[in-house]
Amino acid sequence: MRGSHVCSVVSSLVFLWLGVAAAQKASSWKTLSVRSYAMHVYKANGQLTISGNAPAIIAKGGFSGIFPDSSEFAYQFALIASSPDTILYCDVRLTKDGLGICLPDIKMDNCTNIPDFYQQGRKSYLVNGVSTAGWFSVDYNGTELGQVSLKQSIFSRSPRFDPSFFPILAVEDIASKFKPPGMWLNVQHDSFYSQFNLSMSNYILSVSKRVIVDYISSPEVSFLTKVSGKLSNNTRLVFRFLDESTIEPSTKQTYGSMLKNLTFVKTFASGIIVPKKYIWPVSPDNYLEPHTSVVDDAHKAGLEIYAADFANDFMFSYNHSYDPLAEYLSFIDNGCFTNLKKRKTDHGKPLIISHNGASGDYPACTDLAYQKAVDDGADVIDCPVQLTKDGIPICMSSINLMDDTTVAKSQFASQTAVIKDIESVLGVFTFNLTWDDIIKNLRPKISTPFSSFKLDRNPRYRNVGNFMRLSDFLDFTKDKDLSGIMISVEHAAFVAEELGFDMVDSVIKTLDAAGYSNQTAQKVMIQSSNSSVLVKFKQQTKYDLVYMINEEVKDAAPSSLAAIKKFADAVSVEGNSIFPENRHFTTYQTNLVESLQNAGLPVYVYTLMNEFASQPYDFFSDATAQINAYVQVNTCMHMGNNTPSFMAPARPGDLLQIISKPAQPPAMSPMPLLTGSDVAEPPLPPARTAQAPSLASRMQAHAAIVVTLAMLLACHPLV
């Protein structure tokens, strides 16, 4: 398995699924921000006291990252895919006839298709003193809303399920249809409904006699005061804090100032719910700051405390490298996940192979990226070898320096050219510059493969770290707790013919000089998508050879398997060759892995990343769920009957089948079969002799032609 340590249940959860491991002994939990009646106290020195209860898990609007918030599918799936004691959360709104319904927003036009039925229904009302335009539930009765369907309200999430009919659910529907272990009702804008002679407090008091309500939250003091003392003793009242600068409508104080007076909150509520940033603040540039005392303060006031605003596909602190599991564990430190990154020297299956080091945290192939990969527990770290103008093998993620260096802002930017044998975009290539040119004039640049989603990687460290030659890399790895190293070799034929360098020979000599040909402590893996490269390595070394299939294929024909086994010990494949995707949904599982393994070839999958945009929806924007689809090895998978249901690997194609036919994406073109002819290559050419015209001279001639052509066009403009 290969992964970039940026190492991302899209469901918006108030408390997250990590609490599912409540099946373990209660005393194993160290909890930062959960139910205070268990007296979970965050000490000033950062240590957690161990008390007894697993965290509460409240599904806001159900599994709202996949299905429309507050829809039947969202609530149902939350109970299936999460903890059996998951509490369902409903944002209560009132209709014209006083029916309580569940909607994520007071304005209906963003979360339903109501404009399709009531085109003239747009109104403007005062909401907490602010003029707000849209469609509102108070203008329609329950019958009129019967034809309206819920839809996905967050644009980064798939709208494919929207054409299915998702009726708006009443509070009573949640209780009767799903019989949840607990129900949480959130009430906001109480004063808004009073403008229409509707009483939210009367509704809540009435519905609580028909439905068991475990929690009632509100950001409005006046509402909680009105219902306090009139509900069952088993119903907890929770004061919801909004953004610190927002003004609470009844006291006219900011929520930030109210946080300093929790003894007042205790007079009308038994708990508080706060945005997670109240506990772990983030800096303006989105890095964690020291934790606050809010948890301790709440406990001292006798209040339970809940953290809100978790979601796998939202931006969270760069400290967590887009890994939602890392964020959850900063609030609850235990359960079966706690020791995942505390592996010692057990380099068993599966192998974790870095992708250009920890290239999600630091610029690829730098000393910092490699050190972070080692610190994070990688079994194997990798060096993609490129050659410089003076023939020095270096570790660089791309032969094109435009990708991961600052060459575009350097004096070498004028050397840009398109070399179609390599790629069809402009570049300045490693072989254009000497090693001294690179280290004295360029800086590394962190990769941002999902910049279109505004998912930048660790911007404070965008240009840190030092470039490394292959020899530097080998010196670095010698004394590290690694089972091996991987060296990738590409473009060897081009380099030999056009530049006069033998890449295979350069790598072998560097390995020999570092003593790797005479040691067995660390395995040396050589990877290439060119069979000719691996054939030559096999002829001259005894290293482990990995054939990279760099195209999407559904299976491998017997002829290709026989050909691969002649020169390779293992195979690496793209994730899409295992779980083909159609519009970001998995479709099925191919037979490729089974065929390769049956032929005696171990299989590695590349490249796994944390950013939610890199993962099919089937994995819920959760890197851990994606990994589970490939290997089931972490301790959460070995709890017997207590294994949480969410740890079951996603079944490819299941979500796609739920999409209604009109919204189904177009059928995929058939994926090809890997054949023997796809694998076969002629032998590597010998390195070009000094007498042959060099690439540099031909590039200069090409540049001269381009300049001449430009001058001709200037003299004879086209009309």
Domain boundaries, the chain: 37-108+154-161+169-331, 343-545+684-714, 550-598+611-678
Number of Cβ within a 10 Å radius of residue 333: 16
Select from 3.20.20.190, 3.40.630.30, 2.40.110.10, 3.40.50.720 the CATH code of 37-108+154-161+169-331: 3.20.20.190
Which of the four pLDDT bands, split at 50, 70 and 90, describes residue 331?
Answer: confident
Give dist(CA 495, CA 259) in Å, integer: 65
Query: Which of 397, 399, 390, 433 is CA-nearest to residue 414?
Result: 433
Contacts of 688 (CB under 8 A, 6+ apart): 496, 497, 498, 499, 500, 694
- 356-408 residue pLDDT tens: 999 999 999 999 999 999 999 999 999 999 999 999 999 999 999 999 999 99
Which of the four pLDDT bands, split at 50, 70 and 90, describes residue 705?
Answer: very low
127 is written with which tokens?
Answer: 């909401």
Helices of type H across 148-268 = 171-178, 190-194, 200-210, 221-227, 255-258, 262-265
| Max avg pLDDT among 94-98, 315-319, 617-621 | 94-98
Same fold, 37-108+154-161+169-331 and 343-545+684-714: yes
Which of the four pLDDT bands, split at 50, 70 and 90, describes residue 5?
Answer: very low
Alpha-carbon dihedral sign for residues 710, 712, 714, 718: negative
- Of 687 and 20, the structure prediction assigns the larger pLDDT to 687
Which of the four pLDDT bands, split at 50, 70 and 90, describes residue 590?
Answer: very high
On the question of pLDDT at 40 being above 70, the answer is no
On the question of pLDDT at 49 being above 70, the answer is no
On the question of pLDDT at 34 being above 60, the answer is no
- 532-573 residue pLDDT tens: 999 999 999 999 999 999 999 999 999 999 999 999 999 999
Which of the four pLDDT bands, split at 50, 70 and 90, describes residue 328?
Answer: confident
Q: Give the pLDDT of residue 716.
A: 38
Q: Give the pLDDT of residue 39.
A: 23
Phi, psi (degrees; rounded to nearest 5) at 106: -65, -30
On the question of pLDDT at 602 being above 80, the answer is yes
| Topology annotation, domain 343-545+684-714 | TIM Barrel (3.20.20)
Alpha-carbon dihedral sign for residues 601, 607, 612, 615: negative
- 186-202 residue pLDDT tens: 999 999 999 999 999 99
Which of the four pLDDT bands, split at 50, 70 and 90, describes residue 155?
Answer: confident
The arithmetic mean of pLDDT across residues 9-13, rounded, is: 33
Q: Give the pLDDT of residue 218.
A: 97
Q: Which percentage of the chain shows pLDDT scores above 70?
A: 84
Which of the four pLDDT bands, split at 50, 70 and 90, describes residue 718?
Answer: very low
Q: What share of the chain is helix, strand, coil (3-state, %, to 5)?
A: 35, 20, 50
Which of the four pLDDT bands, split at 50, 70 and 90, describes residue 53?
Answer: low
SS3 readout for 512-532: HHCCHHHCCCCEEEEEECCHH
Q: Which amino acid is at 79?
A: L
Give the bridge partners for 606, in sequence order: 574
Which of the four pLDDT bands, split at 50, 70 and 90, describes residue 147?
Answer: very high
On the question of pLDDT at 649 being above 70, the answer is yes
The arithmetic mean of pLDDT across residues 432-454, rounded, is: 96
Give dist(CA 165, CA 565) in Å, integer: 52
The arithmetic mean of pLDDT across residues 664-693, rounded, is: 89
Give dist(CA 108, CA 132) in Å, integer: 12
Q: Residue 495 gets which letter from DSSP?
A: I
Give dist(CA 214, CA 225) in Å, integer: 17
Which of the four pLDDT bands, split at 50, 70 and 90, describes residue 43?
Answer: very low
- Degrees, nearest 5: CA angle 657-664-157: 90
- For the entire predicted model, the pTM comes to 0.87
The arithmetic mean of pLDDT across residues 450-478, rounded, is: 96
**Could you tell me if 576 and 669 are in contact, meaning their C-beta atoms sit under 8 angstroms apart?**
no
Query: Which of 372, 343, 345, 375 is CA-nearest to residue 356?
Result: 372
Q: Give the pLDDT of residue 84.
A: 80
